[in-house]
Amino acid sequence: MAGTEPEPGGRRRLRDDGVRTPTSAEQSKVEEMVQEVFNAFKSNHHAPQYVLQREKHFHYLKRGLRQLTEAYECLDASRPWLCYWILHSLELLDEPIPEAVASDVCQFLRRCQSPQGGFGGGPGQHPHLAPTYAAVNALCIIGTEEALGVIDRKKLWEYLHSLKQPDGSFLMHLGGEVDVRSAYCAAAVASLTNVLTPALFTGTAQWIARCQNWEGGIGGVPGMEAHGGYTFCGVAALVILKQEHLLNLQSLLRWVTGRQMRFEGGFQGRCNKLVDGCYSFWQAGLLPLLHRALHARGDTALSMSHWMFDQSALQEYILLCCQCPAGGLLDKPGKSRDFYHTCYCLSGLAIAQHFGSAHLHHEVVLGTPENRLQATHPVYNIAPEKVARAVMHFLQQPVPGAEPEGD
């Protein structure tokens, strides 16, 4: 947004310079709703405390694994996503998944796996890279021998090859569209399951780099507007392929840090758009990846205790503006809860709470100590130990393309 007016506490409201537009009117409306939430929080507490409603979120998620209302019929082609969103939310809350439930999820996802390789959005549906990513992530979260054994790696490798395009990009599905999501989904599942080969990703990093535009962020395809979801997918894919240096990192850093809203504290997905809780991960999750890339370049200005965004402001937005009183999280005040926003609001909250790892690990937890979530891997968005377990498991198995003839 153009100019902003400072508020007490460092917040800055939109200043429209006397030119009111539909966009500025919507932004002002959101700021008013958020201000009401902040005011209510301050006035209803003698000593205000930020509280993550863990129990309510847990019960909302647990119910969703077993039964969904008819409102979810429109997501019939996204059923592995529902498994992933719920399972990842539960692991962030450090809630164990009962063995019987985990086994049922494994059997369901097995039925979603296509004979051609990859996973469809439901049993009997055509394979697609998006639900393939979700299914593989869900199975890695469960992490049992049964779960990891569901994945047909040879067929998955063949399916990924069938989607690869001469310019280095990937189709989302046979006969489907090309965009940066497909490159990330392919790189993520290939690296987790040890089917990543140089031939499979020839030219992919260079194609992704061409999607970075003049704004500094990454669009869906070369020449398109920069977008938080596509930017995360592009950068994370390049991290997997060890090719982050192909990007203009300073331009990217300037773009993503400019997406944190100065009044709300959350992130917008694109320039001149409204705040949305899901970008708490898609945008904030970029900062650990950028931190790592800039550190590898020897950037001495980097902090060794904080990411390059206001971690407390993001936590405040999520805890005050994105929690449904009945459980689950949402986009912004006035919106409905759903499993997608629950997953990515909690993922963003985890990113904001945890800096670094091992001896460099530093925590910034707003509110009560019970608000602390488990850490999430910024590339795959599942628990770091689940990534390590899956990688170690599949490293013991041969890469399909490298198997000797006749095997």
CA angle 175, 111, 123 (to 5 degrees): 50
Cα–Cα distance, 271 to 82 (Å, whole number):
29
Is 167 annotated in the active site? no
Cα–Cα distance, 209 to 245 (Å, whole number):
9
Tokens representing residue 107 in the block: 């059997």
Cα–Cα distance, 43 to 308 (Å, whole number):
31
Is 76 annotated in the active site? no
Tokens representing residue 202 in the block: 């020839």
The active-site residue out of 57, 128, 332, 341 is 341
The active-site residue out of 279, 317, 340, 380 is 279
The active-site residue out of 211, 278, 321, 322 is 278
Of 244, 211, 203, give the one whose Cα is nearest residue 227. 211
The active-site residue out of 181, 227, 332, 337 is 227
The active-site residue out of 79, 338, 344, 393 is 338
Is 106 annotated in the active site? no
**Can you say whether the dihedral through the CA atoms of 292, 296, 297, 300 is positive or negative?**
positive
The active-site residue out of 181, 270, 337, 354 is 270
Is 17 annotated in the active site? no
Is 407 annotated in the active site? no
Is 343 annotated in the active site? no
The active-site residue out of 16, 179, 276, 310 is 276
Cα–Cα distance, 103 to 109 (Å, whole number):
10
Is 270 annotated in the active site? yes
Cα–Cα distance, 83 to 180 (Å, whole number):
23
Is 227 annotated in the active site? yes
Of 287, 180, 184, give the one whose Cα is nearest residue 230. 180
Give the number of other Cβ atoms within 10 Å of residue 203's Cβ. Answer: 13
Residue 50 · residue 37 · CB < 8 Å: no
The active-site residue out of 181, 273, 291, 332 is 273
Phi-psi region of 203 (alpha: psi -120 to 50; beta: other; left: phi over 0): left
Question: Catalytic residue positions?
Answer: 227, 270, 273, 276, 278-279, 331, 338, 341
